[in-house]
Amino acid sequence: MARMLIAYYSRSGNTEKMAMEVATGAREAGDVEVVVRRIEQLSPDDLLGFDGIAIGSPVYYGTMAAEVKELIDKSVKHHGKLAGKVGGAFASSGGPGGGNETTVLDIVKALLIHGMIVQGDHEGDHYGPIAVGAPDARSVGECRRFGKRMSELVRRLTN
Ligand X SMILES: Cc1cc2nc3c(=O)[nH]c(=O)nc-3n(C[C@H](O)[C@H](O)[C@H](O)COP(=O)(O)O)c2cc1C
Closest-CA residue to 116 (of 71, 90, 79): 79
Nearer of residues 47 and 59 to ligand X, judged by Cβ: 59
- Residue number, nearest CB to ligand X: 98
Q: Let me know: does 114 contact 64? Beta carbons within 8 Å.
A: no
Nearer of residues 9 and 50 to ligand X, judged by Cβ: 9
Nearer of residues 30 and 95 to ligand X, judged by Cβ: 95
Nearer of residues 19 and 26 to ligand X, judged by Cβ: 19
Q: Let me know: does 129 contact 92? Beta carbons within 8 Å.
A: no
Query: Least distance to ligand X from the beta carbon of 90, Å?
Result: 11
Query: Least distance to ligand X from the beta carbon of 105, Å?
Result: 14
- Interacting residues of 120 by C-beta distance below 8 A, sequence separation 6+: 126, 127
**Environment class of residue 83 by beta-carbon count within 10 Å: exposed (0-12), middle (13-18) or buried (19+)?**
exposed
Query: Least distance to ligand X from the beta carbon of 133, Å?
Result: 5
Which residues are near ligand X by CB under 6 A?
10-16, 58-62, 92-95, 98-99, 133
DSSP 138: H
User: Where would I find the beta strands (DSSP E) of the chain?
Assistant: 2-8, 32-38, 52-58, 86-93, 117-118, 130-132
Query: Least distance to ligand X from the beta carbon of 51, Å?
Result: 26
